[in-house]
Amino acid sequence: MVSWKELELGCTIVEPGSSSKLKTGDWRSQRPVTDYEKCVKCGMCYIFCPDMVYKPNKMGFFQADYYYCKGCGICARECPAEAITMVEEKV
Amino acid sequence: MAKRIGIEVSLAVSEAVKLADVDVIAAYPITPQTHIVEHLSELVADGELDAEFIPVESEHSAMSTCCGSAAAGARTFTATSSQGLALMLEICYIAPALRLPIVMAVANRSLSAPISIWNDHSDLMASRDTGWIQTVAENGQEAFDLILHAFRVAEDHRVLLPVIVNMDGFTLTHVIEPIEILSQEEVARYLPPYSARMRLDTAKPVTMGPVGVPEVYTEAKKAQDEALKAARPVILEAWEEFGKHFGRYYKPVETYCTEGAETLLITMGSIGETAMSAVDAMRSQGKKVGLVRLRLWRPFPFTEFLEAVKGVKYLAVVDRALGLNGAGGPLATEIKAALYDEEERPYIWNYVAGLAGRDVTVENFVEMADGVEAAAADNLKSDYTIINVRE
Ligand code: SF4
Ligand code: SF4
């Protein structure tokens, strides 16, 4: 991590689009785990996730990118097939 | 050669801002600051000053606009007072943290309640730790000169911090004084055009004022703190240069009759002029009394202050605001902290005087100088007194 001497003037961010580098995933205390046996590929998790964590894979199943998942549980709550379970995050 | 003319100090301040050739002024009127921005809006409307005058709906918006303008790389000015400064405070913390070199004149006035439009330093003290560089004018010429100094310091790439020029409301802002108004050419020689080191530019996008997560906030504040401390030599250098250009030399701490003095009065702002008369009167009676006036308030000029009070026995510190902390005025607590590490410390009595425009007279200063000596002789524990309060 940067020292105070290396910060840009006024803590300005000089690289556009760099917010995607911010790892929101390390706030997480619970992680969503999808049971693809139950999943109906409706995409509700993808739509509701406030951090755009889910992406569809080639088979059409939605997979989470844990770099950004902050463990809020919205996806598990909204999944109509009850395919998502929140499990405790292990360090 | 510059002309000395009789002019209201507020208007002289506006003239200084005009001579600094500002690009943007965003301000809201508030007594006793109004004349400054009123005159600037006239200068812009009359085509005498080529600047954007943005009339905003509040001081909060004024400072927000100033931040945007300075971030875009424009030379930016605003002015306010009292409740207006209080409303601005949220954004006042942001300007120095983003290193935006805004210059602001504050016509010092007391804070409500009770409602008061009159002069004291409660607004100055409310803004003291916002991270702005702060100077305090003692007379009209100083108010004019300090505005030009403020732009030069603020925009120096070794500084890049906003500057407040404090001037006592009414006592200074509304009086007519003989003031030397410099010419455009003279000012241009002292104050180079502003070139922003970093600015909002669509060709090279940056984000100013992002979230500072716990991993970076501490480092960001450390960098800001170091920047404020590093401004000190530049502030002095800009005063030195001012003296070389225009013959008026300013120091962060001014001393008057301190030679051989046992007791020193400590003041800030326009009461320093009355205090000089009081010192003259006391000296003529053989009393060993001198005066120290602070012109630089932030960053606090520790070295110069300690030098100025070295070896004296008694300090009568005159605050123009009540600390409301149970321990006296903010100037006195600052000075006590400054002296803590000294082996030989003077005995200090703090006087809170001149709240909300109440006169501080020559007699009051005599009372203070005598009072600190009497308190020391009585072995009283250092404390504070409100001068002139009716029991
Ligand atoms: S837990 Fe919250 S952040 Fe994580 S994937 Fe589900 S909705 Fe998105
Ligand atoms: S909301 Fe549930 S069912 Fe729908 S895609 Fe996501 S995991 Fe599958």
Sign of the alpha-carbon dihedral angle for A66, A69, A71, A76: negative
Quote the distance between the C-alpha of residue B7 and its chain's center: 21
Atom from ligand 1 closest to the CA of residue A84: 6
- Alpha helices by DSSP H, listed for B22-81, are 34-45, 59-71
Q: Which of A3, A6, A11, A14 is the best substitution to test chain B (most B C-beta atoms within 10 A)? A: A11
**The pair of three-digit structure tokens given for residue B118, joined into one six-digit string:** 């009159």
Ligand 2 pocket, residues with Cβ under 6 angstroms: A 34, 39-45, 62, 79, 81, 83-84
Q: What is the pLDDT of residue A1?
A: 83
d(CA B160, CA A44): 49
ipTM > 0.85 (yes/no): yes
Q: Kindly list the residues from chain B whose CB atom is less than 8 angstroms away from the CB atom of residue A20.
A: none
Pairwise CB contact (< 8 Å): A13 & B197: no
Q: Average pLDDT in the B195-208 region?
A: 95
Pairwise CB contact (< 8 Å): B216 & A7: yes
What confidence tier does A27 reach under pLDDT thresholds 50, 70, 90? confident
Q: Which of residues 11-70 of A touch B (CB under 8 A)?
A: 11-14, 16, 22
Q: What is the pLDDT of residue A24?
A: 86
Q: What is the pLDDT of residue A17?
A: 86
Question: Which residue out of A79, A82, A86 has the highest number of ligand 2 atoms within 8 Å of its CB and is therefore the one to mutate?
Answer: A79
Question: Which residue out of A39, A48, A52, A65 has the highest number of ligand 2 atoms within 8 Å of its CB and is therefore the one to mutate?
Answer: A39
Pairwise CB contact (< 8 Å): A16 & B220: no
- DSSP-assigned letters across all residues of B158-220: TT---EEEEEETTTTTTSEEEEEEPPHHHHHHHSPPP--SS---TTS--B-S----HHHHHHH
What confidence tier does A18 reach under pLDDT thresholds 50, 70, 90? confident
Give the list of residues 6+ apart from residue B334 with CB closer than 8 angstroms, or none.
B300
For B128-137, write each residue's pLDDT tens digit: 999 999 999 9
Angle at B9 between CA B187 and CA B13, to 5 degrees: 35
Q: Average pLDDT in the A12-23 region?
A: 89
Pairwise CB contact (< 8 Å): A11 & B226: no
Pairwise CB contact (< 8 Å): A11 & B160: no
Interface contact B229, partner A, CB < 8 A: no
Q: What is the pLDDT of residue B1?
A: 57
Q: What is the mean pLDDT of chain B?
A: 97
For B221-240, write each residue's pLDDT tens digit: 999 999 999 999 999 999 99
Task: Return the closest-CA partner of residue B226 out of A12, A1, A7, A14.
Answer: A7
Q: Average pLDDT in the A35-58 region?
A: 97
Q: Kindly list the residues from chain B whose CB atom is less than 8 angstroms away from the CB atom of residue A22.
A: 213
Interface contact A3, partner B, CB < 8 A: yes
Q: What are B350's strand-pairing partners?
A: B317, B384
Phi, psi (deg, nearest 5) at residue B19: -65, -25
Q: What is the mean pLDDT of chain A?
A: 95
What confidence tier does B3 reach under pLDDT thresholds 50, 70, 90? confident
Chains A & B: contacts with CB separation below 8 Å: 51
Q: Whose CA is nearest to atom 8 of ligand 1?
A: A49
Residue A10 has its nearest CB partner, among B208, B222, B226, at: B208
Q: What is the pLDDT of residue B292?
A: 98
With pLDDT > 90 as the criterion, what percentage of chain B qualifies? Answer: 98
Question: Does the structure show a pLDDT above 70 at B188?
Answer: yes
Pairwise CB contact (< 8 Å): B208 & A12: yes
Question: Does the structure show a pLDDT above 80 at A91?
Answer: no
Looking at residue A13, the DSSP 8-state letter turns out to be B
For B260-275, write each residue's pLDDT tens digit: 999 999 999 999 999 9
For B26-63, write each residue's pLDDT tens digit: 999 999 999 999 999 999 999 999 999 999 999 999 99
Cα B212 to ligand 1 centre (Å): 23
For B166-182, write each residue's pLDDT tens digit: 999 999 999 999 999 99
Sign of the alpha-carbon dihedral angle for B362, B166, B176, B185: positive
Q: Average pLDDT in the B176-200 region?
A: 96
Q: What is the pLDDT of residue A22?
A: 84
Cα Rg for chain A, rounded, in angstroms? 16
Pairwise CB contact (< 8 Å): A10 & B207: no
Interface contact A1, partner B, CB < 8 A: yes
Give the list of residues 6+ apart from residue B317 with CB closer than 8 angstroms, or none.
B266, B329, B331, B332, B335, B348, B349, B350, B351
- DSSP-assigned letters across all residues of B112-152: SSSP--S--SHHHHHTTTSS-EEEE-SSHHHHHHHHHHHHH
